[in-house]
Structures are given as structure tokens and as C-alpha cells.
A and B are shown apart, each in its own frame.
Chain A
Amino acid sequence: MVTKEIAQETENVHIEKQGSQTSGEYIVSYIHRVKTGDLGSLPIILGLIAIAIVFQSQNENFLTARNFVNLIVQMAGITTIAYGVVFVLLLGEIDLSIGYVSAVAAVIMALLLKGDPASNVAGWHWFPAVGAALLSVAIIGLLQGLIITNFEIPSFVVTLSGLLAWNGVVLILIGGSGTVIIQDVVIIGIANYFLPSTVGWAIGSVAILSYAIIKIQTNFSRKSQRLPITPTPILSVQIVGFALMVSTAIYICNQDRGIPLVGIILLTFLVGFTFLAVRTPFGRYVYAVGGNKEAARRAGISVQRIRVIVFMISSVMAGCGGIILASRLRSVDTGAGGGNLLLNSIAAAVIGGTSLFGGSGRVSSALLGALVIASVENGMNLLGLSSGIKFVITGFVLLMAVLVDAISRRSRNQSGLA
């Protein structure tokens, strides 16, 4: 009651003050943000350019349409798992079970698809098979989340137990054969189907149009509320830049086999989870819990519920990643979910700029970080380097990413408290 009336009294005051920025001011304030340590995606984009230059100078096959399309397929599994990791890291927690949880989903799906020819049990249709697999891992996430929140056990320990236990479950489910072959065309298509070029262009046009409409609409609604807006020249540059980026990617893919279906899946996840993270109350609460758990609690947020849901998201995204990886290999074997999968997925989110300490990061960091990891691996494979050297270099890249985060955090703190 108090503020509403005062708000009306003072309306005129801040209309004058909150006039729109000019492009110059916009750029100046961007540079200021970067200088004070709010680097956004800048380091990783510079890193990707550096990677491209290094590998291309060593092997001219690196920057080819064929390799670009390969790269998208190669990064799909860890990117998908890393989307879930971002949410867990935003809370300041960790989920070590994701590697084998992804395998649990893959095995369940593969077994259901196959059925049991020996005893005449028909295989399932792909849709319920995927549904059952994802439901199973959702329950795994629920279980782990409830244990973590109800008994106040660190997520590190609970999901470490999960890592061991779910590995065992995978081995038990696969049984003696050692490999489950996938023959369903839809499931194989996830990672092996490429869109015809016209479909690629159609999807691209819709994406560009939606981007432009959302950007312009946001500006209009802010303008009608008399809030500062993005200056028109900057807005145009953003939209044209986005359109160029999308068209280039589609053009390159179409030089080869076309846009991989899985690439569209990755971008759909990106848009969906970004919306969840930054536009919904749920996403806001995830950031709040990660930033200051007590403040979130006092604000009436059900902290435990948010944490449980995030562990479910983590498991389900791991499951989706497992299914994509299985689709690519057209089978699931006893090695599924092992190797570097867990560490690469967490590293992807961190390299992309999501902090390990909670409260800071973006969904897009999963995609960018996975792109770095996959392109380093892909480039080193082209050069025929030994796996020893590959591990050392990947470790070095991760360290660099964490250093950039630490240094930018320090400069943020120094410039912070004015």
C-alpha cells in the first residue's frame, strides 16, 4: 500500500532518468563489465578460435565440412549430460553418478527394444522403451536427491556410491552376452540421421525469425514500461550476427551430409534449459540456493525440493546422453558409461564457465565446453596423437578454464565492493 502510492508520485522522476542508452554507452558498459571480470563467453570463444588455428595449421582436414559434422555428432553425448551438470553445479553440488546412470538408461532402452526372442517376448516400440528408460533414471535421481537432502549427506558421497552401484547394475543387466545390439531405425537415427538441406534451411529460418521476434518484442515491452532498452543499432547487429552464424552453420553442414538430427536435439535442449534457468521461478531459485542457501530459505523457497528436482534433471539428462551415445554406437556394451564420460561431462560445464562453487554459470556453457573438449579430441585424433598426450592436453585445457574463472572472480571481487 505504501509503495504503490509513492510509485505513482515518483513515476515522472525516473522516466527522465531511465532514458534509453545510446549504442556508444552500451558498448562502453559492455567493456566495463568485461574489465571488471564479467567475461561471459568471451574466453571460450577466443579459446575455440585458438584451437581452430592450431589444428588447422597442423592438418588441413580440421576445418572441413565433413569434420564439422563429425564434431557435432561426437560432442552430442557429453553435451547432453553436461546440461544436467550445469544445474547441479549451480547449486554448488556435484553428481558423480551421471556416467553410469547414462549407461543404465541406455541398457534398459536397448533391452526393451530387443525383447527376448528366446522366449518369444516381442521387443518394445522405441517410444515406450525410451520413456521407461528415462523414467527409471528419473527415479534414480529422485532417490539420490532424497538421500542427499533428508540425511544431509554431501552429494559427493551419495553420488560416489551411485557411481559404483549403477556400474554394477549395468553389468548385471547386460549379462553374459557383453553387448546389446540396437536395431530400431528411429533410435539409430538419433545420432546417424542427417536432415535434407531444405529441411535444414526451413528450421534455420524459423530459428532466425523467432530470435528476431523475441528480441524485438522484449524491447517493445520494456519500452512500454519505460525501462531502458537495447539501442536499435546494437539490436540489429545482434540479429544480423545471429542470422549469419546460423546460416553459416547450415551451409557448412549441407556441404557434407546435412545437419545431424542430434545437432537439432542439442539446440532444442539448449533453448529449453536456458528458458528454465533464466526465465522461470524454478531457475531463479536454483541460482538463489547456489548463491545463498539461507537467503533462499528465508525467502520461503523450498530449498530441499529444488535440490531434489535438480538431481532428477541431472539423472534424466544423463539418461538422454546415454541414449544418444548408444544410438551412435548402435549398441550398448559393458564399457558403457565408463572411461572419460563422467569427467568430460563435468569438465565441459566447467570449461564453459560454470563455477564449481555454485550460483554462477549458464546452460550454454555445457555446449561451449563440450565443443572445446570434442574439438581438442577430434583435432588430436586427426593428428594421430597417442592417448597419453591427449589426456595431458585435455587436462591442461580444463586447468586453463578454471584459472580463467579464478582470475575473473578475483578481478570481480576487487572491482566489486565500491
Chain B
Amino acid sequence: MKKTILKLEGVSKRFGVVQALSHINLEVRTGEVMALVGDNGAGKSTLIKGIAGIHPFSKGKIYYKGQPVKINRPRDSSALGIEVVYQDLALADNLDVVANMFLGREMVQTPWRIDEASMEKACLATLEALSVMTIHSVRQPVATLSGGQRQAIAVAKAVMWNSEVVILDEPTAALGVAQTHQVLELIKRLADKGLAIVLISHNLQNIFEVANRIVVLRLGQKVGEYIAAETSQQEVIQAITTGRIPRMTVQNGN
């Protein structure tokens, strides 16, 4: 039942002299939370920016539902059904919650006219459905929200679009304990609904709470892939820090 929806084959990314990613193979499956871990500068953010089309990969192939696809621009990935919640949140502070949720994909009455009422309604419904946090008014600028509320908006924005793959880059880094718990619960619920989740986090405890699989990056290379239930924090830490692989469970979904 856990089908591979997104598959990367030998992707690489160079920034000038920096080889940020080299020859990564990866499979993302529906209904599953895949955690991506690694030290600072390991290439996690670069990997997801490649999937999102923000910094397209220099080399390698991408398959979506078995079909080879090209992702060169942000629109390409969202058209496929891939949504990303960025570490640097990528919300426009001066716009209100509704405007941010629909940015770039406004509902229109005529091609010229934004349908504010329908957008506001859909926005309220999504926030309500995710029941993450309370927001006084969806018409207030995002600048006036707290860190947790902003994170909730960013997640809600990602899942509102019938997305099938949701990628979250350190969604809990700036949050307190209670808010972190709520976001993790939200992630679990999304996976249970059949979405494929890629979660980047530094917090191994959080990861072991929600992840089914754990992929370790180090210096731009994939140095390990584990089934969460069959490994330990020590093993993962060792892979993150030394890149040596004591025991490797390879590419085996169930």
C-alpha cells in the first residue's frame, strides 16, 4: 500500500566550487513520514530546494508516480502536487493570512478580480480543519503572528493545495514544547491521510516520534537509510557525525 510517489536518481547540485549534493538516490512513499537528517551544511535544504524547483539539480533524474519529470521552477513542483514548507518561512509579512495562503494561486471571479470572500472561507476552513493554533483574525498581517502561528500558516498553506507530497524543512526549530507537539501531531495526521511527508529536523527525539524511515546525509552524500522502528538514536547519530555505516537497511519499504 505504501507506494513510491517521488523518486530521485543520482541527483547532484553544485554551487560554484561547492559540491552541495553528490549522486543522491531517494524514494518518497505515500502515507509515510521520511525524515532527512544530517549536520549543518549536509545538503538537506539544497536537496529539497532541488525538488521544489528553487535551485534545480545540476544532474540526475526525477520520477513522479513512475514518470520522468523535469522540475525547473517552483510552479513545476506545485503542479505535480509537491509542496514545501521552508525553514526560512517564505511568508510575506506585509500581507494578511489569507493573501499568504493563496499567494501565486489566488481565486479569481473574473481573470482580473480576486475572489476575497471565497479565499477567506477556504482559508478559515483549512485552519479549522488542521486545528493547529488559534488565530485572532485571518485578515491580520502575518507580521503580527507568533512563531508558532506563522509555522501553522506555512503548513496549512502547503496542505491546502491537494498536495500529495509535503516537505517540511525544520518546522519545529523555532517552536516551544507544546507547539512542537502540535506540529508533530499534525504531521502524523497528514501521513495517515495518505500524504507523503518529508521531514527535516535536528531533533532526533521528534524524528523517532513520527518518522517511518530515516535518511542520513553527510557532506552532500547519502550515508544511511534506516527504518525507524529497527534502529536507534545512537546508530543515527553515528551516521550523522562519522558517516560510517554500522548496519544498513536498504531501500525496503515495508
Decide: B93 and A291 in contact? CB cutoff 8 A: yes
How far is B99's CA from A43's CA once the two chains are assembled, in angstroms?
27
Q: Given A221-B117, A417-B144, does the pair A2, B159 have CB atoms closer than 8 Å?
A: yes
Decide: B129 and A6 in contact? CB cutoff 8 A: yes
Say yes or no for B26: interface residue by CB 8 A criterion: no
Main secondary structure of the interface of A (DSSP, over half): helix
Expressed in whole angstroms, the minimum distance between the Cβ of A297 and any Cβ of chain B is 7
Decide: A14 and B128 in contact? CB cutoff 8 A: yes
Q: Which of B73, B99, B125 contacts A6 (CB 8 A)?
A: B125
Decide: A225 and B118 in contact? CB cutoff 8 A: yes
Expressed in whole angstroms, the minimum distance between the Cβ of A296 and any Cβ of chain B is 7
Say yes or no for B162: interface residue by CB 8 A criterion: yes
User: Chain A residues with Cβ under 8 A from B75's Cβ?
Assistant: 300
Q: Which of A291-311 contact B (CB under 8 A)?
A: 291-292, 294-301
How far is B127's CA from A101's CA once the two chains are assembled, in angstroms?
48
Q: Which of A4, A296, A301, A418 contacts B144 (CB 8 A)?
A: A418
User: Chain A residues with Cβ under 8 A from B93's Cβ?
Assistant: 291-292, 359
User: Chain B residues with Cβ under 8 A from A415's Cβ?
Assistant: 144
Which B residue sits closest to A5, measured CB to CB? B129
Q: Which of B55-83 contact A (CB under 8 A)?
A: 73-75, 78
Cβ contacts A351-390/B at 8 Å (1 or 0 each): 0000000011000000000000000000000000000000
Q: Which of B74, B95, B106, B129 contacts A3 (CB 8 A)?
A: B129
Say yes or no for B122: interface residue by CB 8 A criterion: yes
Expressed in whole angstroms, the minimum distance between the Cβ of A335 and any Cβ of chain B is 39
How far is B37's CA from A224's CA once the two chains are assembled, in angstroms?
48
Max chain B Cβ within 10 angstroms of own Cβ: one of A226, A290, A416:
A416
Decide: B124 and A14 in contact? CB cutoff 8 A: yes
Q: Which of B204-229 contact A (CB under 8 A)?
A: none
Q: Which of A1-18 contact B (CB under 8 A)?
A: 1-4, 6-7, 9-11, 13-14, 18
Expressed in whole angstroms, the minimum distance between the Cβ of B97 and any Cβ of chain A is 13
Decide: A295 and B103 in contact? CB cutoff 8 A: yes
Interface size class of A (residues with CB under 8 A): 35 or more
Q: Given A292-B93, A295-B103, A301-B103, does the pair A226, B121 have CB atoms closer than 8 Å?
A: yes
Decide: A295 and B92 in contact? CB cutoff 8 A: yes
Say yes or no for B108: interface residue by CB 8 A criterion: yes
How far is B154's CA from A292's CA once the two chains are assembled, in angstroms?
14
User: Chain A residues with Cβ under 8 A from B106's Cβ?
Assistant: 281, 284
Say yes or no for B203: interface residue by CB 8 A criterion: no
Decide: A3 and B104 in contact? CB cutoff 8 A: no
User: Chain B residues with Cβ under 8 A from A287's Cβ?
Assistant: 92, 94-95, 99
Q: Given A287-B94, A300-B104, does the pair A9, B129 have CB atoms closer than 8 Å?
A: yes
How far is B125's CA from A11's CA once the two chains are assembled, in angstroms?
7
Max chain B Cβ within 10 angstroms of own Cβ: one of A285, A294, A298:
A298
User: Chain B residues with Cβ under 8 A from A125's Cβ?
Assistant: none
User: Chain A residues with Cβ under 8 A from B114's Cβ?
Assistant: 279-281, 284
Say yes or no for A288: interface residue by CB 8 A criterion: yes
Q: Which of A4, A13, A300, A359 contacts B128 (CB 8 A)?
A: A13
Say yes or no for A227: interface residue by CB 8 A criterion: yes
Say yes or no for A222: interface residue by CB 8 A criterion: yes
User: Chain A residues with Cβ under 8 A from B159's Cβ?
Assistant: 2-3
User: Chain A residues with Cβ under 8 A from B100's Cβ?
Assistant: 295
Say yes or no for B238: interface residue by CB 8 A criterion: no
How far is B92's CA from A417's CA once the two chains are assembled, in angstroms?
15
User: Chain A residues with Cβ under 8 A from B78's Cβ?
Assistant: 300
Expressed in whole angstroms, the minimum distance between the Cβ of B75 and any Cβ of chain A is 4
How far is B93's CA from A290's CA once the two chains are assembled, in angstroms?
10
Say yes or no for B193: interface residue by CB 8 A criterion: yes
How far is B54's CA from A2's CA once the two chains are assembled, in angstroms?
26
Max chain B Cβ within 10 angstroms of own Cβ: one of A288, A299, A416, A417:
A299
How far is B161's CA from A4's CA once the two chains are assembled, in angstroms?
10
How far is B122's CA from A9's CA once the two chains are assembled, in angstroms?
13
Q: Which of B94, B105, B117 contacts A359 (CB 8 A)?
A: B94
How far is B84's CA from A287's CA once the two chains are assembled, in angstroms?
22
Q: Which of A7, A226, A298, A301 contacts B86 (CB 8 A)?
A: A298
How far is B119's CA from A225's CA once the two chains are assembled, in angstroms?
10
User: Chain A residues with Cβ under 8 A from B128's Cβ?
Assistant: 6-7, 10, 13-14
Q: Which of B73, B95, B129, B145 contacts A7 (CB 8 A)?
A: B129
Decide: A3 and B160 in contact? CB cutoff 8 A: yes
Decide: B108 and A10 in contact? CB cutoff 8 A: no
How far is B181's CA from A234's CA once the two chains are assembled, in angstroms?
42
Pick 21 A–B contacts, CB within 8 A, sort by A: A2-B195, A3-B125, A3-B159, A6-B128, A13-B128, A14-B128, A222-B117, A225-B117, A281-B114, A284-B114, A287-B99, A288-B92, A292-B94, A296-B103, A297-B54, A298-B84, A300-B73, A300-B74, A359-B92, A416-B143, A418-B144
Chain B: residues with CB nearer than 8 A to chain A?
Answer: 52, 54, 73-75, 78, 84, 86, 88-95, 99-100, 103-106, 108, 112-114, 117-118, 120-122, 124-126, 128-130, 143-146, 159-160, 162, 190, 193, 195
